[in-house]
Structures are given as C-alpha cells and as structure tokens.
Structure 1
Amino acid sequence: MTFADFVRLSRAYVWVLIGCTILGALLMIAKTTREPVLYAATSSGLVRVGNATDAGTEQGNSQLAEDKANLYAYLATKTPVAQEVIDELDLDVPPAAIAGRFTPSVDADVNALTITAIGTTPEEARDLANAVVEAVVVVAKEVDGDTGLTKIIPLEPAELPGAPFTPDYERAAMKGAAGGLAIAYAFLIARRLIDRKVRSAKHVEEATGAAVLGVIPKEEVLGRSNRGVRGDLGKAAEAFRQLRTNLRFVDIDNEPRKIVVTSALPGEGKSTVSSNIARLVAQAGTKVLLIDADLRRPMIATTFEVDGAVGLTQALAGDIDVTDVIVESGMANLSLLPAGRIPPNPSELLGSLKMKQMIDDLAVDYLVILDAPPLLPVTDAGLLSAFCDGALLVQASGKTQIEQSQHCRRILDQVGSRLLGVVLNKAPVKGANAIVYGGGYGGYGGYGGGYKSEYKALDAYSTAGKGRRRKSAAKTDKTGKVDKAARTSKAEKATKA
C-alpha cells in the first residue's frame, strides 16, 4: 500500500477512525477509574564517607560514597528496610505490603540517593519517603559493618504531594485513543490487502491484460428501468462519451462492426452499458442496431419501452424475416432487435450458423451491438463472441472478483475471441476509490459546464418519441402503399408459433 492509498483510505473512513479513537479513549478512561488513588512523595540526600584532609583521600572517599549509594539503592526495596520503616512509623502492615512502594535512583555525579515512596494518602507517602532514607542507612550498617563514617545528608525532605499521580485520566485517554486508532487502521489496511474485488482500473488491466476503455460512475438514474436511455445520465454522461470515443479508436484500420457486450456475472450493468453506448454512437451519426441476445433475461425491450413479444428467436426459427422484427427506438440512427419469445435452447440458437449469417448480413448496414448473457454462468456470450469482431467486458467495481475477471479472459481466449477492452462500471463517486478514478466525477468544473447546454439539447433530441415498429418496405402494392395486411399476417403467424 502506497502513501496515496493510505491517504485515500483515511479520507474514506475518517468517521470510522474518529469513532474508534473516541471509543478507545473512553474505554481506557473507564478502566482507569477502577485503579486506586495513589500519591507519590520524593526525598533525597547526599551520600558522604568520612572527612577527607587531602585530594587523594577525597577521591577515594568519593568512589566509596558512590559504591555506598548503589548499595543503599539496592537495599531500599528489600524486606529489612521495609521492616525498619514499619518499626519507625509504627505501622500495622507486613513488610511485603510496603517493600514494593519504594523506588530508588542514584545520581553518580554527585552521589545523591533519591527515594520515591507511594502511599494511599499524601501524609503516608511523605512519611514513607522520609523514613526509608534513614532505614536504608540502618540496614546498611548491619549488612557491611559500617563504623559510622558513612552518612546521608538530607537534601530535599519529602513534602505533601498536591495531587495523586494515579489514576491519570489524561494519559489514559491518550493511550486509549492511540490504541483505538491503531486497531482501526490495522483492520482497514488488512481488509484492503485481502480484498480480491475489482476496485480500480489497475486491477482490471492486471487481471485481463486489456485496456480499460471507460470508467462509469455509480449513478442513480442508471439503476432505473430505462437505464438512463431516455433521460439525463447525470455524472455518467461524460464517462459514456469517453467510452464512445475510446471504442472508436480501438482499431482504426479495421473498425469493429459486430460487438458483443457481456460481463462476468449478472447485475454488473452490461445491459446499461450496451444500451447507452448504442444510443451515443447512434447520436454521433452511425447507424446502430442493438440486438438483445440475452435469451434468458432479455432487458432491451423494457429499457426502450418497445414491444418485445416478437424478435430474434422467431427470426432464427424462420417464422418471420429479421427485417420485419427490427424496431425503431424513437432515436435517430438507433434500431432495436428484441429477444422475442424465450426459447428452451438459447445456446443452440445463438451458436447456430444462421445466427452468424444473420449478424454478418446486418453488419453490412449497421454497427451491430449485441447485449449478451454473462460469461461465467452460461456459454452464450462465448459462442457469440467467436464469430463477432470482439467483446466488450463489463466489470462492476466492488463486486466482480479478480479471479472472475481472469476466468472471463480465459474463456474469450479459448473461443478465439478478441477482447476489445473493459468497462469498469458502478465506480463510487465518493470515498477512497473515487480518488483512484480522478477524485470523483463532480470535478469537471468549467470544462464540463461549457458544454452543458449542448449536451442537454442532444439528450432532448435523442429521447424524443417512443419506440415504434419499423415499417416494412419489402412489400408494396401498385400504388406504392405499404401492404399492411401481408406484414400483419406474418407477425401474427410468428406470435402464434
């Protein structure tokens, strides 16, 4: 994880981090309230040995004093010293109860001995600190047979402490806050490191080996029944236009005319992408035919609000000519071929030679875009992409697994299909991942605003009218009028079949 990733993670989960920090501080404060109230008092004195009459004696006495100070510090925490203090203060406690309350330290530069004593009251702490110094000297004489030449000159007798040193709520709060923050970061970083979901263009490119042609932000309008094809795309409008531009430059010398749009699993937005990219390419002046090749869960008829009872399946069965079931979308240059009746054998129909021939014939007059089923659950998309110019793979940010992306690439390679590129769909516009995609899609600023009126006019133009059946030009009478009876009889026959 890079520093930039760390910053994005912090920004995305800032309230989680703050909450864990506060919770950690509160827990430590609650724990500290159960600690006893203790006071600490400190007394100190200088350790001196004999009376030196010359420099040599003084140096020897100084070294001896240092040794004595270290001995006193060692003895301060022992039971004999504690017993001496008990006798001096007339305490009714066992020596072991107060032996651990003394903390000695030695300053070797001046041979000073400092004793810190802990008590449950200010008076007890002061009396213990003062008594232990004298007790150490007494015990030391008994241990090494001192003749009285060594003494401790009081330097700073203990005074009454003004406040207890524990519980220290401020220190406890700081420790708890630091601990809570550290645990929160550890959890978030571990969660991110073990996450195997596609969350960035880099993940997709590494998994599939193909370029990301577009990153579509998560937008509410795309989740509706019409998938944004008859309304403003919101923040996703510019992303779809960028996808349209990138798709045109996939292969300039051999421009794809038959494109399969698929995904790894259902719910990743392949129908949304295919519908909107078909609409925008048609809007740019290219004749487009959008075929609903998902014969298991067809969506195109519902999306464009057209009649989908008769369509691709009847044409493949030979019940009706394909030109009679092509539907006008109500948008310039965009025609639709609904799925028709759902068959019991979708894979056989889509993989048939008749399907291949039909697509080849239609590709002469149209840029054919096929909304195909997902790759992993069924084989339909693989069969279609085998005789098309390439596949456009849709992946959902935060949903598709990296292993699933890799498996999709293997399937396409096995059938000899060309992966034109990948569309990363449902990219979050807020949070850590939004930074990866350029800081969110609200930051186009003046650049996007300058074209707002133009985009609005184009969208209004492209969404005018409703879907309607394309008039058949195949049969006319001698007066040049359309033979409506012949066309109606074919449609009725196909419906009954």
Structure 2
Amino acid sequence: MTFGDFVRLTRAYVWVLIGCTILGALLMVAKTTREPVLYSATSSGLVRVGQATTAGEEQGNSQLAEDKATLYAFLVSTTPVAEQVVEDLGLDVPPSAIAGRFSGSVDASVNALTVSATGTTPEEARDLANAVVGAVVVVAQQIETGEENPKEAPLTRIIPLEPAELPGAPFTPNYRSAAMKGAIGGLGLAYAVLVARRLIDRRIRSAKAVEEATGAAVLGIIPKEDALDRAHRGVQGDLGRAAEAFRQLRTNLRFVDVDNEPRRIVVTSALAGEGKSTVSANIARLMAQAGTPVLLIDADLRRPQIAATFEVDGAVGLTQALAGDVNVREVIIESTMANLSLLPAGRIPPNPSELLGSLRMKQFIDDLSHDYFVILDAPPLLPVTDAGLLSAFCDGALLVQAAGKTQIEQSQHCRRILDQVGSRLLGVVLNKAPIKGAAAIAYGGGYEGYGGYGAYKAEYASREAYSTAGKGRRKLLKSNKS
C-alpha cells in the first residue's frame, strides 16, 4: 500500500476513523472513572558519608555515597522499609499493602535520592514520602551491621533537601491522559483493521489487478449507475456517467486489432450478476448508433435476458433455428433502433451446451458476420462451458468483471478456460465501478475525480434522446444481402 493509497483510504473512511477515535476516548475515560483517587508526594535528600578532612577523603566518600545512594534507591520499595515506615507513623496496615506505593531514583551527579509515595489523601502521601527517607537509612544500617538496633551512629546519612509537601490535586485518575490514550488506541485499531482488510481483500478493485490476473488490457471501466440496474439495463433513456464510458469501450473495441478488426465477439463474465448482459446490450446499441449494422444474439440459453431488456417477443429464436425448425434469418428482429437487430434465445432447451457447440452454430455465426457486427451475450464462464465453446467460433471474447465482487482467482480461471479452447481474450470490462466512497479508492477517488466529465457537460445537458425498443417486427432478409 502506497502513501497515496493510505491517504485515499483515510478520506474514504474518515467518519469511521473519527467515530473509532471518539469511541476509544470515551471507553478509556469510562475505564478511568473506576480507578481510585490517588495523590503523589515527592521528597529528596543528599546522601553523605562521614566527615572528610582532606580532598582524598572527600573523593573517596563521594564514591561511597554514590554506591550508597544506589542501594537506598533499591531499598525504597522493599518490605523492610515499609515495615519501618508503618512503625514510625503508627499505621494500622500490613507493610506489604504500602510497599508498592514507594519508588526511588538517584541523581548520580550530586548523589541525590528522590522518593515518591502515593496515598489516598494528600496528607498520607506527604507523610509517607517523608517517612521513607529516614526508614531507608535505618534499614540500610541494619543490613550492613547485621544488628536490628545498631548502637553506633550511622556512617551514611541523608540530608533532607526538599521535604514532601501536600499535593494540590490527585495524579490519578487523569482523564485527559486517558482520553488521549483511548483516542490514539481507537484510531490505531481502526487503521489496522482497514489496512488489513484492504491487504487481504482478493476482490478485483482496480484496472491493474484485472490486467495482472488476466494478462489482458482493460478496454473500459463502467461506473455504477442506477440506470444500468433497471429492468431495461440502460437501453432506454440517458446513461448518465456511464454513457461516455461505453463510448470509450466502443472505441477501444474497434482499435483492439486494427489489421484484423473483430466481427464476432462473445461477451461473458466469470459468474452471474457481473453485468455481461448490460454491457453487451449497451455496446451493441452504441455501435449501431455509430452506423455499424449490429446483431445482438442472446446466446445465454439458460437465463436469456435480451428479449426482456429490449421488450421484444422472445418465444421463437436461436434454439428453434439451431433445431432446424426455422431459418435463422427469419427469427432476427429489427429493433426500433437504427442498425440494431436482435436474435432472441427462443425456447430454453435441455441441452444448451450441445446446441451452442454444434457445427450449425458455427455456420450461423460465420454467415451472419458477413452482414453484421455480431455480439453474442453468452453465459458465465465458470459455471458452464457455453461461453468457452462459443468463443472458439468467434474472433475473441470480452470478459466483464464486477468491481468489488469478482475474485482475482476467478479472473485467472477465466483466462485459463479461454486459453484451453484456443480463444482470444480481446480485453476486460471493469463493470460497476464505484463512483465515490470506500471502494472508489482504487480508482483514485472514483469517476468524480475526472472532473465530473466537465468536457461533456454540454452533451449531458442536451440529454441525447435514445429511442426505446418496441416489440419489433420479424423480417426475412435476403440471403444475398450485401
């Protein structure tokens, strides 16, 4: 993940990140309210050894004082020191209960010992801090002499420097610190989940991922548009932002092989629901509008969609022609769109694969491609073999992949299937590309990042009127039509 991806991820999930940050802060504050109120007091003193009369003695005493200070800092939080403090202050608590309230540190540059103590009241904290300093010296002498009550005065002493004072406010609970820690923790956890989710996501989310999986170029990226989700799949009315995307697909399809321009293409997908019928219907319409005679064949004999999309009678069609009941040209429907003809699927047969893979089907395609640019709306590649069989008869296949739905492994499997039947993958159409939001980060902020197609505002304002398809009429074309 690049820095740019991280920035786009932040922009896409900004409200989720803010929510997790606030939630983390609130949870930590709530947890902190359950903590006891404690005060902290600090006292300090200088560690001195004996009375030096010469510079040499002073240097030796200083080194010994440094060692003693380190020892004292270690003894501060021990149980013997706590016992001495309990005895000196006359406390009615076990020494083990207060031993953990003390801590000590040493400043070796001046041999200073600093003692911190905590208590439930300001007075208790102050008294404990002052009592610990004297208790440490007593316990240290007992350890060195081995006597519980040494008779001689201690060689080492602590000269009070700053006695503990009453603390003005408790150091815990610290709501500000807790809120900061909770906010940082919530934000970090949110980022970790989002980044991990993005890294382990195996769905197609970018043109680069499609090209790496299939080894074919992306000929078009179709944005997600409400008009394409309706029953007519966008063949009626304005396509909005998808209109220019389909025009770009039409252009790229023409230039995919300038020397051998394809005349027969199969439009398929990995699985159902990726929009292959929508893509085939709209690319057929746009190519027809450009002046090219187009024949759209509904070759999905399992779940035909073209007749319902264009609102034509699909009772008789391809299956009857393949069975020899009618001439294939007799069941071609001239739509109300100029240059666009339709060949519905007809009755759903029990053996779709055998019909589509037959020699008669190949002859139909070869014959019709002389008069039309033939587009076959085929079933998905992975569940059934129909699309693979059809693509072997054609100039190539156009693979439709749904952004955020199709898995990378599924794209790779589609390519293997087409290679096995000797078919050519003309390119890939990335369909249902999010315009904005979290999933749009793979497209640099979605289609709105392209300036809202500002160059085409005038064209959109004119609302080019697409003619609606009617019931159509069946027309027998002369076999010698040029």
**TM-score normalised according to structure 2 size:** 0.93
Tell me how far 1:134 sits from its aligned partner. 1.5
Offset at residue 33 of structure 1 (A):
1.6
Residue number among 353, 356, 359 corresponding to 1:347 in the alignment: 353
CA displacement at 1:66 relative to structure 2: 1.5
Aligned to 2:148: none
2:308 maps to what in 1?
A: 302
User: In the alignment, is the contact (CA less than 8 A) between 2:268 and 2:400 conserved in 1?
Assistant: yes
**Shift in alpha-carbon separation, 1:289–1:121, aligned structure 2, 3 A:** same
For the 8 Å contact 2:8–2:444, the answer to whether it is kept is: no
Aligned pairs (5 A) from 1:175-324: 175-324=181-330
1-structure distance, mates of 2:457, 2:27? 53
Quote the offset at 1:71 in angstroms.
2.4
Kindly provide the amino acid, as one letter, of the partner of residue 38 in structure 1.
Answer: L
Letter in 2 for 1:49: V
Which deviates more from structure 2 when the two are superposed, residues 315-324 or residues 401-410?
A: 315-324
- The CA deviation at 1:455 is 5.6
Q: Which amino acid aligns with 2:384?
A: V
- 1:361 and 2:367 matched: yes
- Percent identical among aligned pairs is 80
Cα shift readout 1:129-168 (whole Å, capped 9, x = no counterpart): 1111112222233333464443222111100001111111
Deviation at 1:465, TM superposition (A): 6.1
| Residue 459 (structure 1) aligns with | 464
Q: Secondary structure at the match of 2:171?
A: coil
Amino acid at match of 1:466: G
Report the alpha carbon displacement of residue 230 of structure 1 after superposing the two structures with TM.
Answer: 1.0
- Conservation of the 8 A alpha-carbon contact between 1:43 and 1:130: yes
C-alpha separation in 2, matches of 1:322 and 1:59: 114
Q: Structure 2 vs 1, CA of residues 67 and 442 (structure 1 numbering), >3 Å: closer, same or farther?
A: closer
d(CA) in 1 for partners of 2:136, 2:459: 93
Task: Give the residue type in structure 2 aligned to 1:222.
Answer: L
Task: Tell me which residue corresponds to 2:473.
Answer: 469
Partner of 1:79: 79
Shift of 1:121: 0.6
Alpha-carbon distance between aligned partners in 1 of 2:180 and 2:385, rounded to the nearest angstrom: 59
Judged with a 3 Å threshold, the aligned counterparts in structure 2 of structure 1 residues 452 and 306 are, in CA distance, closer, same or farther, namely farther
* 1:458 Cα deviation from its structure 2 partner: 7.9
After TM superposition, give the deviation of residue 470 of structure 1 in Å: 4.2
- Between the aligned partners of 2:112 and 2:388, the Cα distance in structure 1 is 87
1:203 deviates by 1.5
> What is the alpha-carbon distance in structure 2 between the residues aligned to residue 458 and residue 127 of structure 1?
85
What is the aligned partner in structure 1 of residue 127 from structure 2?
127
Listed one character per residue, the Cα deviations across residues 69-102 of structure 1 (whole Å, up to 9, x for unaligned) are: 2222222222232222112211111221222211
* Whole-Å separation in 2 of the counterparts to 1:303 and 1:162: 79
Contact 1:200 1:437 (C-alpha < 8 Å) held by counterparts: yes
Question: Aligned residues, how many?
Answer: 473
Counterpart position of 1:325? 331
Question: CA separation of 1:76/1:454 partners in 2, compared to 1, >3 Å: closer, same or farther?
Answer: closer
Offset from partner CA, 1:446-489 (integer Å, 9 cap, x none) = 8x3443444666831x41563411444659xxxxxxxxxxxxxx
In structure 2, stretches of 5+ residues that fail to align are 146-151
In 2, the alpha carbon distance for the partners of 1:3 and 1:58 equals 61
Q: CA deviation at 1:51?
A: 2.9
Counterpart residue number, 1:425? 431
Q: Counterpart of 1:441?
A: 447
Q: Does the 8 A contact of 1:292 with 1:371 survive in 2? A: yes
SS at match of 2:30: helix
Secondary structure of the structure 2 residue equivalent to 1:451: helix
Q: Please tell me whether residue 3 in structure 1 is matched to residue 3 in structure 2.
A: yes
Note if contact 1:141-1:147 (Cα within 8 Å) is conserved in structure 2. no
Distance 1:202 1:464 in 2: 36
Query: What are the superposed Cα offsets for residues 215-255 of structure 1, whole Å, 9 maximum, x if unpaired?
Result: 11111110101111111111111111111111111100000
Opposite residue 124 of structure 1, the aligned amino acid is E
Taking structure 1 as the reference length, the TM-score comes to 0.91
In the other structure, the counterpart of 1:481 is none
Distance 1:441 1:79, change over 3 A: closer
Provide structure 1 residue ranges, at least 5 long, that are not aligned to the other structure.
Answer: 476-497
